[in-house]
Amino acid sequence: MDSVEEEIYQVRKLEISDKNKGFIELLQQLTVCDSVSDEAFLERFQEIAKYGDDHVICVIQDDNSNSGRIVATGSLFIEKKFIRNCGKVGHIEDVVVDSSVRGKQLGKKIIDFLSDHARAMGCYKVILDCSLENRPFYEKCGFKQKEIQMVKYFI
Ligand SMILES: CC(C)(COP(=O)(O)OP(=O)(O)OC[C@H]1O[C@@H](n2cnc3c(N)ncnc32)[C@H](O)[C@@H]1OP(=O)(O)O)[C@@H](O)C(=O)NCCC(=O)NCCS
């Protein structure tokens, strides 16, 4: 990425108007994500906003191509624990970069933003789940593999 692109691809927090800039379509590149009505989006946005800095969703808007589309996103929520002297852990979720702009360090920018936020909020670590395929990406972002993930789906 050249320095002009570097300046254009800035990470910022999700805004309500991002729904009309392809935010949901971007999430559909990650996993099953049905279309979301404006009302449902607003309700969930406001619910998340109540958590303030304990739950952030960040995005990168593509002002490079005049499209103004949202091309990258990721989220972080902060879990408050009793262990580790009432420590806090950051959980990173829902990281995706639009297929047209992958390989331009945007994913790394998103992870760095969320990790910096977790550190600034006093978390002693930040964790996430990923596929084996994405392990090299997260290693480039300074993460290391530890243990395994277990899951039980209810739907
Ligand atoms: C995984 C993903 C977020 C990476 O985003 P990206 O913007 O393409 O990655 P970056 O350009 O920031 O990559 C940073 C570094 O990781 C490397 N990297 C990225 N993906 C990689 C992969 N799958 N295998 C090996 N290396 C990879 C890049 O080459 C780059 O290395 P460099 O700094 O030496 O040049 C993106 O491919 C994506 O959205 N995939 C589909 C959704 C998904 O799987 N999300 C993750 C859910 S856990």
Ordered mean pLDDT values, 10 residues apiece, the chain (155 residues): 76 98 96 92 98 98 87 98 97 97 97 98 98 97 96 92
pLDDT value at residue 7: 73
How far is the centre of ligand 1, averaged over its atoms, from the C-alpha of 103 (Å)?
Answer: 6
Q: Go through 108-144 and write b for each residue having 16 or more CB atoms within 10 A of its CB, e for each that does not.
A: bbbbebbbebbeeeebeebebeeeeeeeebbeebebe
Domains and their CATH numbers in the chain: 3-140 (3.40.630.30)
**107 alpha carbon to ligand 1 midpoint, in Å?**
6
Q: What is the pLDDT of residue 129?
A: 97
pLDDT at 2: 72
Dist. CA 122–CA 129, nearest whole Å: 21
pLDDT at 32: 87
pLDDT at 64: 78
With a 6 A CB cut-off, is 49 part of the ligand 1 pocket?
no
pTM across the whole model: 0.96
Q: Is 136 in the pocket of ligand 1 (CB under 6 A)?
A: yes
* DSSP state letter for 85: H
Distance between the two ends of the chain, CA-based, in angstroms?
Answer: 41
Give the closest residue (by CA) to ligand 1 atom 1: 134
Residue carrying the six token digits 């829902």? 94
